[in-house]
Amino acid sequence: MRDGPSIVRIAALIGDHTRAEVLTALMADRALTASELAHLAGVTKPTISAHLAKLLDAGLLAVECQGRHRYFRLADRDVAQLLESMMGVAFRTGAVRLKSSPREPALRKARVCYDHLAGELGVLAYESLLRQKVLTLKDGDLQLTRKGRDWFQDFGIDVDAATAQRRPLCRTCLDWSERRQHLAGALGSALLERLQALGWVKRAKDSRVMMFTPGGERDFRVLWAG
């Protein structure tokens, strides 16, 4: 019985090696040019142009034009969530790269998952928020508590602004390297922005790796020790 939308086209698009490399590179929520994506994927500019056209046509990518330049990014957070979920399945089933990047340990420790913190430290933060009753799970639905509203406000995050966004305030996201949950949604994004504003962490160049300063990591771990 054939129910629901067909996944064949999307699966075939993502399953191509070059297009998978493009989509993975854009998981850092950065807009990149065709030339930059061609370099990252190890293909020529004409080849990458053909792949980008297919991803745009399928609604997996969006493009922004600034002068003569065109910048590509993931179409939306749903695409990012799909890719992160697929990474989790790939990791669990042993579909790892034959040659790991030198940044692999750092990637597993802390990375950006589209617009929120993932990896070991992302999971640490989420589990602490649950333990401190800042967040609570009710029938699988993640919710911000009254105590949680005060906690985020005290940490310098505008909860009203986060609530006003046209997206879930808070939701879980399965972490592919830890195989546990981390915090996504408007609060997850706001939390990462606040950590960067405090100078505790910054994004590595041309990577999803989030690099904590020694003092920033110390303060970060103290924050979640409650």
107-147 pLDDT tens trace: 889 998 888 999 999 999 999 999 999 999 988 889 999 99
The domain spanning residue 20 has which CATH number?
Answer: 1.10.10.10
Specify if 114 maps to a domain.
yes
In the predicted model, is pLDDT for residue 98 greater than 50?
A: no
Mean of pLDDT values over 88-99: 62
* pLDDT bracket for residue 2 (50, 70, 90): low
Q: 121 and 212, same structural domain? A: yes
User: In terms of residue numbers, what domain contains 53?
Assistant: 8-75
> Do 189 and 126 share a domain, yes or no?
yes
* pLDDT tens, residue by residue, 180-219: 889 999 999 999 999 999 999 998 877 789 999 999 999 9
Count of domains in the chain? 2
Q: What is the pLDDT of residue 68?
A: 82
**Mean model confidence pLDDT for the chain:** 88
pLDDT score at 31: 83
Same domain assignment for residues 117 and 195 = yes
Residues 122 and 12 in one domain: no
pLDDT > 90 fraction of the chain, expressed in percent and rounded = 53
Both tokens of 35, joined, read 């030339």
Q: Do 145 and 151 meet the contact criterion of CB atoms below 8 Å apart?
A: no
* In a shared domain, residues 48 and 120: no
Q: Are both 213 and 163 inside the same structural domain?
A: yes
Both 104 and 64 in one domain: the answer is no
**22-35 pLDDT tens trace:** 998 888 767 889 99
Residue 99 has pLDDT above 50, yes or no: no
